[in-house]
């Protein structure tokens, strides 16, 4: 990318990023995305390096403005997006059974008509810290944090809404 950036326009560099780098970052992200920050930071550094090369920026310059302008999410927000997409499939019964079995709706725990039960929220308890960072616990918390109107959107509108909210959060990190 460092050599190619001198000869091709930015849109081509972005396409190269999306075809050669992004698939490696997102493959199996829901499985390994909650790994230790030391591992994720290595990937984030590579992601930032690619963006700095694309924008001809200094190696120590701030990367968030380039992430925002190129519409690329950092690795930790890519994980959050992947989790929410998986939970959308679980809530609409289109996820594989092995994944769906990891989540229990609040309405199945008891027969009381509570706010959480009527909104389709999930419940996941764990005693261990290692389990609290697992896919099922983190996914249930992330899904429960969403407003119920977003959970009921069609899938394309849901994806667009989540992506927009993640970029708003990324702009908040910039400040």
Q: Does residue 37 sit in the same domain as residue 82? A: no
Tokens 């927009």 identify what position?
164
Predicted TM-score (pTM) of this structure: 0.86
Helix (H, G, I), strand (E, B) or coil at 78: helix
Q: Does residue 153 sit in the same domain as residue 92? A: yes
Q: Does residue 94 sit in the same domain as residue 66? A: no
**Total of domains in the chain:** 2
Q: Does residue 82 sit in the same domain as residue 166? A: yes
Tens of pLDDT, residues 60-110:
999 999 999 999 999 999 999 999 999 999 989 899 998 888 887 776 666
Q: Does residue 33 sit in the same domain as residue 15? A: yes
Among 20, 40, 73, the domain-final residue is: 73
Q: Which domain holds residue 112?
A: 78-174
Q: Does residue 52 sit in the same domain as residue 90? A: no
Tens of pLDDT, residues 112-140:
665 555 556 777 666 677 777 788 888 88
Among 73, 94, 112, the domain-final residue is: 73
* Contact present, 88 and 142 (Cβ < 8 Å): no
Distances (CA, A) of 121 to 36, 66, 149: 27, 35, 12
């Amino acid at each position: 990318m460092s050599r190619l950036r001198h000869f091709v326009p930015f849109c081509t560099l972005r396409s190269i990023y999306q075809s050669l780098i992004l698939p490696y970052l997102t493959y199996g992200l829901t499985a390994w995305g909650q790994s230790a920050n030391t591992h994720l930071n290595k990937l984030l550094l590579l992601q930032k390096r690619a963006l700095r090369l694309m924008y001809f920026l200094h190696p120590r310059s701030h990367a968030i403005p380039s992430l925002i302008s190129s519409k690329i999410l950092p690795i930790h927000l890519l994980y959050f997006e992947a989790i929410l997409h998986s939970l959308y499939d679980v809530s609409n019964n289109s996820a594989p059974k092995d994944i769906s079995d990891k989540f229990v709706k609040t309405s199945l725990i008891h027969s009381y008509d509570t706010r959480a039960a009527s909104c389709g929220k999930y419940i996941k308890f764990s005693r261990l810290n290692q389990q609290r960072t697992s896919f099922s616990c983190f996914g249930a918390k992330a899904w429960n944090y969403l407003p119920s109107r977003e959970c009921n959107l069609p899938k394309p509108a849901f994806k667009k809404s989540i992506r927009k909210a993640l970029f708003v959060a990324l702009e908040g990190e910039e400040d």
